[in-house]
Chain A
Amino acid sequence: MNQTAYDYDIVKSFVNWSIVWGLVTVLVGVIVSLQMVEPALNFPPYLTFGRLRPIHTNAGIYGWGVGVIFATFLYIVQRLCKTPLWSPKLARFQLWFFNATIIASAITLLLGYTSSKEYHEMEWPIDVMVVILWVAFGLNIIMTIIKRKEEHMYISLWYMMAAIVGVAILYLVNAAAIPVSLFKSYSAYAGTNDANVEWWFGHNAVAMVLTAPPLAMFYYFLPKSTGVPIYSHRMSIIAFWSLIFMYLWTGAHHLLWTPVPDWIQTLAMAFSLMLIAPSWGSVFNGYLSMNGQWHQMRENYLVKFLIIGITFYGLQTLQGPMQAIRTFSAFIHYTDWIPAHIHMGTMGWVSMISFASIYYLVPRIYGKNLYSIPLANLQFWLILTGQLMWSISLWIAGVLQAGMWNAMNPDGSLTYTFMETMVEMYPYWWIRVGGGLIYFAGVVVFIYNLVMTVRQGEPAVTTESAPVAGRA
């Protein structure tokens, strides 16, 4: 049997750096959650909530999220196409440019340079860096797919290509701005058009960074971990195309009850509800793939992460459309319910799949057994507990907050002042700090386990499909 010489060095580097940025985002997340309950922990001008919060979100999405995307895509594309990377040198350039971009983003955000667009705060010179980075990445992946030796294109490749094309379009359109100095620019759009473009970008960044890539990983690593194929490839293809056709219309659900035209809001609401179908198409495909394999939930730590991850995806994609309904949105929008929703997606869905992907990759690319399966299981429970504490406490807080904001006296005046509603939030915000600390402990255990695997793990004779010390 011919062995293809795959390039795993670049995968190792991206795994390492994505973990570094993952640690940064969780650490800064814990700090900003503490700043919410202890305002004295804000140290102006640099270390305030206002400047650290975008570092938390951008390190999470672009450092951890995109870092894992780079690592896994560069691995998966080689394996599925049965061919080495088109250009290892370009991938090496991409690695260093990626880190330069993340560092430049962190420094400029700390210094207070911001476009003020959520999830797109970085000023125009960094936009240019992001475009160069994405072109280098996209070119390498697409050229590798073009010169593939495997005729059949597995579903993960479709999601990967969608993410590459989707992010490119979204980022370029939303980044359109007029620079007035090295670190200041003004959006090319004005008023409601600007808001509409921003949330078209914002919500579809969720689609093309936090949905399509984790689905590509899920569809690849689940069957590789269980050793059995997915339930239906054709169903995955239909779910893919449904997602592609529907997702791009949903961004304006972030702008319900705003001056954006009513018909755009209604369109976004309708498409958000329709989006349940493709999302749950993938969830059901995942569950049905486990037919006869549910015992692996007990025995295989990778499966545990992957199935709980796709379950969080299912919950997320049910809760999201509900929130996009006008009446429900009127109640919970601007409350703590919203960050609880977002963190179920990031800490639950995206990170669970990312942890599983890295646990799968590290033993294989280093040729060593995982150092400790009990530690991987411990991390799973820490992550799950931390996430649930985080989200459940803030869902309750959000409902309480909305109830207090809407409460009125018989004469039509508000029952509670804004400060009174703030004071009620404190117990829940402390629970959030606790959840964040437990989650952080889980990340530390994860890193320790991986470091020890590389340093002291027993050499493993492995094939691609066979689990490497994947049994508890």
Chain B
Amino acid sequence: MDLASMLYLGVTFGLFVVFVLIFMHTYSKKRKEEGEIAKYRMLDDD
């Protein structure tokens, strides 16, 4: 495997890790209420 291929593989793996982290952050039990606030706030009139 040449350097370019290793780089592509690294970027792909890195992106996958970033996605997993986003998933874990969004669905963490601690953030359950926080993650849903926006859908109620958008219905508020000002």
Contact A241 B19 (CB under 8 A): yes
- Determine whether A284 belongs to the interface, using a CB cutoff of 8 Å to chain B: no
CB distance from B41 to the nearest CB of A (A): 5
Contact B42 A154 (CB under 8 A): yes
- Determine whether A414 belongs to the interface, using a CB cutoff of 8 Å to chain B: no
- Determine whether B2 belongs to the interface, using a CB cutoff of 8 Å to chain A: no
Within 8 A of A (CB), among B22-41: 22-23, 26-27, 32, 35-41
Name B25's closest neighbour in chain A (CB-CB). A237
Contact B19 A242 (CB under 8 A): yes
- Determine whether B15 belongs to the interface, using a CB cutoff of 8 Å to chain A: yes
Say which residue of A152, A156, A234 sits within 8 Å of B41 (CB atoms): A152
A156 to B43, CA, bound (A): 13
Contact A152 B37 (CB under 8 A): yes
Name A156's closest neighbour in chain B (CB-CB). B42
Contact B42 A234 (CB under 8 A): no
Number of interface residues of A (CB under 8 A): 30
CB distance from A352 to the nearest CB of B (A): 21
- Determine whether A232 belongs to the interface, using a CB cutoff of 8 Å to chain B: yes
Contact A465 B43 (CB under 8 A): yes
Known: A238-B27, A241-B22. A224 touches B43 (CB 8 A): yes
Known: A237-B26, A241-B19, A245-B19. A154 touches B39 (CB 8 A): yes
A233 to B19, CA, bound (A): 17
Contact B46 A1 (CB under 8 A): yes
- Determine whether A153 belongs to the interface, using a CB cutoff of 8 Å to chain B: yes
A417 to B19, CA, bound (A): 51
Say which residue of B22, B23, B36 sits within 8 Å of A233 (CB atoms): B36
CB distance from B24 to the nearest CB of A (A): 11
Contact A223 B43 (CB under 8 A): yes
- Chain A contacts for B19, CB-based, 8 A: 241-242, 245
Within 8 A of B (CB), among A72-110: 79-80, 82
Contact A220 B42 (CB under 8 A): yes
A233 to B42, CA, bound (A): 11
Contact B41 A3 (CB under 8 A): no
Contact B41 A150 (CB under 8 A): yes
Name A220's closest neighbour in chain B (CB-CB). B42
A30 to B28, CA, bound (A): 52
- Determine whether A464 belongs to the interface, using a CB cutoff of 8 Å to chain B: yes
Name A149's closest neighbour in chain B (CB-CB). B46
- Chain B contacts for A233, CB-based, 8 A: 35-39
- Determine whether A193 belongs to the interface, using a CB cutoff of 8 Å to chain B: no
A1 to B35, CA, bound (A): 26
Contact B46 A4 (CB under 8 A): yes
- Chain B contacts for A155, CB-based, 8 A: 38-39
- Determine whether A230 belongs to the interface, using a CB cutoff of 8 Å to chain B: yes
- Determine whether A374 belongs to the interface, using a CB cutoff of 8 Å to chain B: no
- Chain B contacts for A220, CB-based, 8 A: 42
Name A155's closest neighbour in chain B (CB-CB). B38
CB distance from B20 to the nearest CB of A (A): 11
A198 to B32, CA, bound (A): 42
Name A228's closest neighbour in chain B (CB-CB). B43
Contact B36 A232 (CB under 8 A): yes
- Chain A contacts for B27, CB-based, 8 A: 234, 238
- Chain B contacts for A154, CB-based, 8 A: 38-39, 41-42
Contact A238 B26 (CB under 8 A): yes
Name A245's closest neighbour in chain B (CB-CB). B19
A153 to B39, CA, bound (A): 9
- Chain A contacts for B39, CB-based, 8 A: 154-155, 223, 229-230, 232-233
- Chain A contacts for B22, CB-based, 8 A: 237-238, 241
- Determine whether A463 belongs to the interface, using a CB cutoff of 8 Å to chain B: yes
CB distance from A176 to the nearest CB of B (A): 22
CB distance from B17 to the nearest CB of A (A): 11
Interface string of A212-231 (1 = CB under 8 A from B): 00000000100110010110
Name A464's closest neighbour in chain B (CB-CB). B45
- Determine whether A181 belongs to the interface, using a CB cutoff of 8 Å to chain B: no
CB distance from B23 to the nearest CB of A (A): 6
A2 to B37, CA, bound (A): 21
A79 to B38, CA, bound (A): 13
Name B27's closest neighbour in chain A (CB-CB). A234
A238 to B41, CA, bound (A): 19
A-B contact pairs, 28 of them (CB 8 A): A1-B46, A3-B46, A80-B42, A152-B38, A154-B39, A154-B41, A154-B42, A155-B39, A220-B42, A223-B42, A223-B43, A224-B43, A229-B39, A230-B39, A232-B36, A233-B39, A234-B26, A234-B27, A234-B32, A234-B35, A238-B26, A241-B19, A242-B19, A245-B15, A245-B19, A463-B45, A464-B45, A465-B43
Residues on B facing A (Cβ under 8 Å): 15, 19, 22-23, 26-27, 32, 35-43, 45-46
7 smallest beta-carbon distances between A and B, as pairs: A152-B38, A229-B39, A233-B39, A234-B35, A154-B38, A154-B42, A464-B45
